[in-house]
Structure 1
Amino acid sequence: MPRVTLQTIADRVGVSRMTVSNAFSRPDQLSPALRERILAAAQDLGYVGPDPTARALAKGTTGAVGILLTDSLRYAFTDLVAGGFLAAIAGELAPTGLAITLLTSAAAGDVVPARDVAIDGAVVYSCDPTSPAVSWLRRRNLPMVFVDQDQVDDVASVNIADRAGARAAAQHLIDLGHRRFAIAMNGENGRHGFITDPSTLIEGHASHQRRLGWSDVLEPAGVKPAFLRHPLEKTEDVRRDARVLLAAEDRPTAFLCFSDTTAVGVRQAAEDLRLRVPEDLSIVGFDDGPDAVRMQPALTTVRQDVVAKGQAAAAALTEAIRRSRGGPAGPVPHIMLPTELVIRDSSGPAPRTPV
């Protein structure tokens, strides 16, 4: 089938190519009757509209924003908390007409998404601080928002009170009498498995802040926890290593977990060893996502509002894009959202007798 162009339509209607172009991009320049004739001819000829690439070059915009992830793109579709965050961004951006492009920080051959994909701005979401992808976005001078990242003065940011939430979780278990702890940390890159000195790790913002919050409570109490570290999606690896700790003679009576997903792996390890939760082992997660209420018993966890976080990120990004196009300047926003300890049935008093 021959390609239908603006000139094809112009020839059919008997007008100039510019008149046809105006029918799509500047309708106020035409009478309603003429525009209707042009659009009817376009539909009859099967014209799909102006070429998006050409239109983007002419306008200097792409109509899309990127969301940069350290993890594989599969994570965005399988992790329920990340999914809720992305859905909130999509909902907030819907009235603006901006599309979302997911960017992985990994290169694919000669293609570096953060360098090569055309976007009007970007949300950097919980990325490895050593990732070169963040540097590429900065070098492109794109409007950006950092989410779950260390704060930078000239980039808008949205974070949650990770440290305060972790502190509340640890204090809850200390108040219940627990003194033998294990901590299941998150980490995509670097060492995995049993960690003897977590302070030597290169950590993401959330991992670092939560570890500091747990330490704020455990160190003054004289507690030296055991540490595990695995990527979020490696639940089976968490299960395997937690089982080793829980089978030991001096096993922990309390487990603090980076996320609810991590807590699922710990709960499975307890089931493998026929340990009762919370009578033999208390477990506390983080996020209060769908896994928290599905787990049996229901999971004590730290709640973050991922919908509010996504909405705040989208609003900050659209504002940054507006400013980049000559809108009024103002202070760069740095938003901190609260967290809340939600006590359910997976945490209870420390066992009274030696275990």
Structure 2
Amino acid sequence: MAARVTLQTIADRVGVSRMTVSNAFSKPDQLSVPLRQRILAAAQELGYVGPDPAARALAKGTTGAVGVVFTHSLRFAFTDLVATGFLGAIAEELAPTGLSLTLLTSSDDGDIVPARDVAMDGALVYSCDWTSRAVDFLHRRRLPLVYVDQDPVDDIPSVNVDDRSGARAAARHVLDLGHRRIGLLLSGTHGPYGLLDDPGVVDGHSSRQRLLGWLDEFGPAGVEVMSARQDGTGLEQARWGARLLLDRPDRPTAVLCFSDAVAYGVLQVAAELGIEVPRQLSVVGFDDNPLATQVRPTLTTVRQDIAAKGRAAAATLTATIARAKAGTSAPAEHVLLPTELVVRESSGPVNPQ
């Protein structure tokens, strides 16, 4: 059996101290380039891959990883275009820091509870169900946290989008086009689902802010609002919600949607029912993800800068971690990113019946 290769093994081969070998891996700026190259070459020749990550983390008091906590299953991180764009921007912002990204669900079922058990230096709490125990575990661990698409809390840094302003712009747009019978298609993780007598029953920061923005405009205008709420954000759920609004004699002339993904479901159902968009129905999404320009007709939507949100979240978290390590404090920063209405082909003047 081959002898175990250690730092001392490499030190003996090169003729330096064990600490010098350790510095070659953990503090390369303290060695000359030729000496470090000699040490790394000897390590490679002997089959040594580097110090044990767990031991190094214990010695440094840091894991080198940050978490992103989701309410949804991790599949959401790879299939939702907004989530993938957000995570890509975070990864790009973190790259120069050497920090890695760990994706975690907020599930607390079974023996492993990610928010409690996974080693990390800090975490982004991203659009999480506020009733989940995951956030409580993170707080109890005293980890540096940043909230993203969450209700702001005084002492926790946050990054949000101005959802309410964007929703107001979308509502004004359809009002200016003459629409007065308007459907709202919402999504969420808690019931009730289906057609709603009270559209104010929604969960999640972004959902609430978008609904408030719509109602800011519709209330004074005396609009007839028809609301439906789907269970989740998937296409099939969106199609189900869209059918509730559109497959009826008193269907709305415009539908405002929680997201572009939801709006895509509305476009599909409208086509199946023979409803022409935008001549007979205007459809407006939210997010301006790549889907908005891929569908036909192209989608009128509210743009949020997903990449800017990811960069801001990563930068805020790394700054919060740095302050925690240094034992310093500062008032929690609350970033609010602007939105912009983007008018495309899916919205048009109301068509008198």
TM-score, scaled relative to structure 1: 0.93
Q: Secondary structure at the match of 2:255?
A: strand
Match of 1:174 in 2: 175
Change (3 A) 1:245 1:35: closer
1:68 corresponds to 2:69: yes
1:140 Cα deviation (Å)?
A: 1.2
Match of 1:274 in 2: 274
Q: Secondary structure at the match of 2:220?
A: coil
Q: Relative to structure 2, which stretch is displaced further, 156-165 or 321-330?
A: 321-330
Change (3 A) 1:272 1:45: same
Deviations 1:63-116 (A, max 9, x none): 111011111111111111111111111111111111100111012511111111
1:43 Cα deviation (Å)?
A: 0.9
In the aligned structure 1, how far is the partner of 2:9 from the partner of 2:128? 48
1:9 Cα deviation (Å)?
A: 2.7
1:253 Cα deviation (Å)?
A: 0.7
Counterpart of 2:248 in structure 1: which amino acid?
A: A
What pairs up with 1:183-222 in 2 under 5 angstroms? 183-201=184-202, 203-222=203-222
Change (3 A) 1:330 1:228: same
In the aligned structure 1, how far is the partner of 2:201 from the partner of 2:344? 34
Change (3 A) 1:342 1:36: closer
Change (3 A) 1:8 1:346: same
Match of 2:264 in 1: 264
Counterpart of 1:120 in structure 2: which amino acid?
A: D
Counterpart of 1:124 in structure 2: which amino acid?
A: V
Is the 2:195–2:244 Cα contact (8 Å) retained in structure 1?
no
Counterpart of 1:271 in structure 2: which amino acid?
A: A
Change (3 A) 1:232 1:295: farther
Counterpart of 1:235 in structure 2: which amino acid?
A: L
Counterpart of 2:309 in structure 1: which amino acid?
A: K
TM-score, scaled relative to structure 2: 0.94
In the aligned structure 1, how far is the partner of 2:248 from the partner of 2:28? 75
Change (3 A) 1:248 1:26: closer
Match of 1:117 in 2: 118
Counterpart of 1:345 in structure 2: which amino acid?
A: E
Q: Secondary structure at the match of 2:221?
A: coil
Counterpart of 1:304 in structure 2: which amino acid?
A: Q
Q: Secondary structure at the match of 1:164?
A: helix
Q: Secondary structure at the match of 1:325?
A: helix
1:164 corresponds to 2:161: no
1:143 Cα deviation (Å)?
A: 1.1
Counterpart of 2:48 in structure 1: which amino acid?
A: Y
Match of 1:292 in 2: 292
Is the 2:194–2:229 Cα contact (8 Å) retained in structure 1?
yes
RMSD: 2.0
Is the 1:9–1:38 Cα contact (8 Å) retained in structure 2?
yes
Q: Relative to structure 2, which stretch is displaced further, 314-323 or 6-15?
A: 6-15
1:80 corresponds to 2:81: yes
In the aligned structure 2, how far is the partner of 1:307 from the partner of 1:283? 25
1:346 corresponds to 2:342: no
Gaps spanning 5+ residues in structure 1: where? none
1:200 Cα deviation (Å)?
A: 3.7
Counterpart of 1:186 in structure 2: which amino acid?
A: S
Is the 1:228–1:238 Cα contact (8 Å) retained in structure 2?
no
Match of 2:335 in 1: 335
In the aligned structure 1, how far is the partner of 2:38 from the partner of 2:245? 75
In the aligned structure 2, how far is the partner of 1:190 from the partner of 1:168? 28
Query: What count of residue pairs does the alignment treat as equivalent?
Result: 352
In the aligned structure 2, how far is the partner of 1:322 from the partner of 1:245? 50
1:21 corresponds to 2:22: yes
Q: Relative to structure 2, which stretch is displaced further, 244-253 or 343-352?
A: 244-253
1:333 Cα deviation (Å)?
A: 1.0
In the aligned structure 2, how far is the partner of 1:108 from the partner of 1:339? 37
Counterpart of 1:322 in structure 2: which amino acid?
A: A
1:188 Cα deviation (Å)?
A: 2.2
In the aligned structure 1, how far is the partner of 2:32 from the partner of 2:151? 54
Is the 2:189–2:231 Cα contact (8 Å) retained in structure 1?
yes
1:138 Cα deviation (Å)?
A: 1.3
Match of 1:309 in 2: 309
Q: Relative to structure 2, which stretch is displaced further, 213-222 or 51-60?
A: 213-222
In the aligned structure 2, how far is the partner of 1:288 from the partner of 1:164? 15
In the aligned structure 1, how far is the partner of 2:164 from the partner of 2:314? 24
Match of 2:151 in 1: 150
Match of 1:98 in 2: 99
Is the 2:115–2:135 Cα contact (8 Å) retained in structure 1?
yes
Is the 1:80–1:290 Cα contact (8 Å) retained in structure 2?
yes
Is the 1:65–1:98 Cα contact (8 Å) retained in structure 2?
yes
Q: Relative to structure 2, which stretch is displaced further, 27-36 or 254-263?
A: 27-36
Counterpart of 2:179 in structure 1: which amino acid?
A: H
Counterpart of 1:234 in structure 2: which amino acid?
A: G
Change (3 A) 1:186 1:40: same
Is the 1:243–1:272 Cα contact (8 Å) retained in structure 2?
no
Is the 1:282–1:347 Cα contact (8 Å) retained in structure 2?
yes
Match of 1:44 in 2: 45
Counterpart of 2:350 in structure 1: which amino acid?
A: A
Counterpart of 1:277 in structure 2: which amino acid?
A: V
Q: Relative to structure 2, which stretch is displaced further, 190-199 or 58-67?
A: 190-199
